Amino acid sequence: MTSRAGRAAALLAAGLLCGGCSLLPRTAASPAAPASTTAWPSVTAGPQPTAAAAVPLAALLPFPPARLRAAASLARRFTAAWDSWSWQQAPAAWLARLRPMAANELYPALAQAAGDRGVLAQRAATRQVAVATVTALAIADLTPGSVTVTATAAQVITSSSGTSRSTADWAVTLTPEGSGWLVWDIEPAGAGNS
């Protein structure tokens, strides 16, 4: 089963990269693949697949496409909430927004991040307010027990010294919970999940 899931994840990733996959909704940051202007010669060597041999991509996936879309949607909401905060907001309020979307295993790390005194003091000193919007999503890993979505967040920080903008890629790993999902981990996409 792992081999099938691995092949399905590779096919899914290839589909997402070329813009040919319809599992995730298109965003402004994911343009359609350009039309080819080069005619490729047809290859007739070797056996050709028959209609009966063709297996739909969805049959190879460990989760139905609708369930993967739900995972991507939760990754989008969680990342936007994670990267949005205000110096006037109590840490408990930020944590309360994330809590319903997070797995129990993630909650202690969220609570620690919410109460980081150094970060809170820096935000208060310059009256920082951050608003994040997720501009792109891609499935980075897919197994029978989880899906990892890379979410690109555009963050606007307003402070007493002006406005700044930044972009960050987050790896959001989700695990199935009943008929839905919960976020099990979030970290910079380049770090890999630990």
Question: Rounded to a whole number, what is the largest CA-CA distance in the chain?
Answer: 70
CATH of residue 184? 3.10.450.230
Is residue 93 domain-resident? Answer: yes
Query: What are the two backbone dihedrals, phi and then psi, of residue 171, each rounded to the nearest 5 degrees?
Result: -95, 115
Domain with 141 in it: 67-191
Domain-located, residue 51: no
In a domain, 22, yes or no: no
Residue 56 in any domain: the answer is: no
As for how many domains the chain has, the answer is 1
- Judge whether 23 lies within some domain: no
Q: Is residue 108 included in any domain, yes or no?
A: yes
In a domain, 41, yes or no: no
Under DSSP, is residue 157 helix (H, G, I), strand (E, B) or coil? strand
Q: From CA 131, how far away is CA 69, in angstroms rounded? A: 24
The answer to the question of residue 55 being in a domain is no
Prediction pTM value: 0.71
- CB atoms under 10 Å from CB of 8, counted, come to 19
The one-digit pLDDT tens for each residue of the chain (194 residues) are 444 444 444 444 434 333 333 444 444 443 333 343 444 444 445 555 555 556 677 777 888 889 999 999 999 999 999 999 999 999 999 999 999 999 999 999 999 999 899 999 999 999 999 999 999 999 999 999 999 999 999 999 999 999 999 999 999 999 999 999 999 999 999 875 44
